[in-house]
Amino acid sequence: MTELIILLIVVVTALAFDFTNGFHDTGNAMATSIATGALRPKAAVTLSAVLNLVGAFLSVEVATTVAKGVVDLDQFNLADPGQAHQLLLVVFAGLIGGIVWNLLTWLLGIPSSSSHALVGGLIGAAVASLGMQGVAWGGVLAKVVVPALCAPVVAGLVATVGTSLVYRFTRPVAERDKNRYFRWGQIGSASLVSLAHGTNDAQKTMGVIFLALVATGSLGADANIPFWVKFSCAVAIALGTYMGGWRVIRTLGKGLVEIDSPQGMAAETSSAAIILTSSHFGMALSTTHVATGSIMGSGLGRKGAEVRWAVAGRMAVAWMITLPAAALVGGLTWLLAHTVGLATDDLVGVVLAFTILVTLAGLIWTRSRRAPVNSGNVNADWDTSTNRVAPATRITADPEEPLSPTDTVGTSTSDSSGRNLR
């Protein structure tokens, strides 16, 4: 009975990670469409949610990579209940590492990789449990680290060339007409990115739940992923996407490059092509890295466009520390749950770690409400003096409603107590 309760907690935690993945990564597909006005903010996230849901059913190659290519299952004797529980705890702790990193970077409005946060959490928990031999380092290097280094560079180059060609071929077209026509292409390419995101990112949670089921003996290591796992992960990431991760959308849409429709279409087309290719080969690629590289490339490919390198630098720092930071949280979580479990009961350790996660999530959410970013202010002008994402405010919560004479769009620099937020 205890093992079943722990398994349920792990599955709920996995779906919670999937949810954070959805709202953290919505901007990868829709930030440029929202920034250029090709789609209204709420319509964009709704479309993205539906396409993420569909995409989650199209491939399981990435799920297989996460399930069998990060934690070395050969190091666990799953016939031994003690080692099976150890693997279950590794999965649980790894998920917490990924969720904590997703929430922190969302609060700061930094587009960071949910994929690498999850992989980092699993690595840290596996090392804490079994030492260095607990990780399938070959799989991590080939299908996580190498793609992480190459993806933003390749995406940037493709988008730079694509943007340059678009502007060269459409030079005789008036700017107003150019933007109007390319908005339709931008909607199509953004939709393709959302579909691609579902084929890549939803699979990662499927792989984690598969690991948990293997640990409890509910599935064999060579079994296929059950339909209920696919369905629940697809719904979780779609719901998260619908929530809109507006803080990250604002950074990608307004903070990195001032973008117009031809740039947006070139960036999104590049992103979709690379993400779909990686899904086919089972690479746990970061859609965030791809989308960010593409958006930067679209800025470099347009003559006279400005790339805000200070913002790009913050992203690069976050990318470099994602794996080790999530690994640290995952490892500490495993040690906490394991130590408490030895002293009392396994379930007590898991419940304590889960309670800490829920409390931390609540604190982060509360902090975010001091300077909210939502569908009503996501497109407010970027403050280049601070390169901050949170300050923009708007009184009306719905961008579909017209502003009244008392509504304002501007930059808030302090909270209700007068403290500076910058």
- Would the pLDDT of 399 be above 60? no
- Would the pLDDT of 396 be above 50? no
Confidence of residue 106 (pLDDT cuts 50, 70, 90): very high
Q: What is the pLDDT of residues 224-274, one digit of tens each?
A: 888 899 899 999 999 999 987 888 888 888 888 877 888 888 888 888 888
Kindly state the average pLDDT of the residues 398-421: 36
Confidence of residue 384 (pLDDT cuts 50, 70, 90): low
Which position has the token pair 């079943």? 4
Q: What is the pLDDT of residues 274-284, one digit of tens each?
A: 877 876 776 66
- Would the pLDDT of 88 be above 90? no
Predicted local distance difference test score (pLDDT) of residue 410: 36
Confidence of residue 387 (pLDDT cuts 50, 70, 90): low
Predicted local distance difference test score (pLDDT) of residue 239: 93
Predicted local distance difference test score (pLDDT) of residue 409: 34
Confidence of residue 50 (pLDDT cuts 50, 70, 90): very high
Report yes or no: 198 and 237 within 8 Å, Cβ to Cβ: yes
State pTM to two decimals.
Answer: 0.82
Kindly state the average pLDDT of the residues 309-315: 85
Predicted local distance difference test score (pLDDT) of residue 401: 38
Q: What is the pLDDT of residues 348-359, one digit of tens each?
A: 999 999 999 999
Instruction: Indicate the average pLDDT of the chain.
Output: 81
- Would the pLDDT of 406 be above 90? no
Domain borders along the chain are: 2-382
Q: What is the pLDDT of residues 62-74, one digit of tens each?
A: 666 666 677 877 7
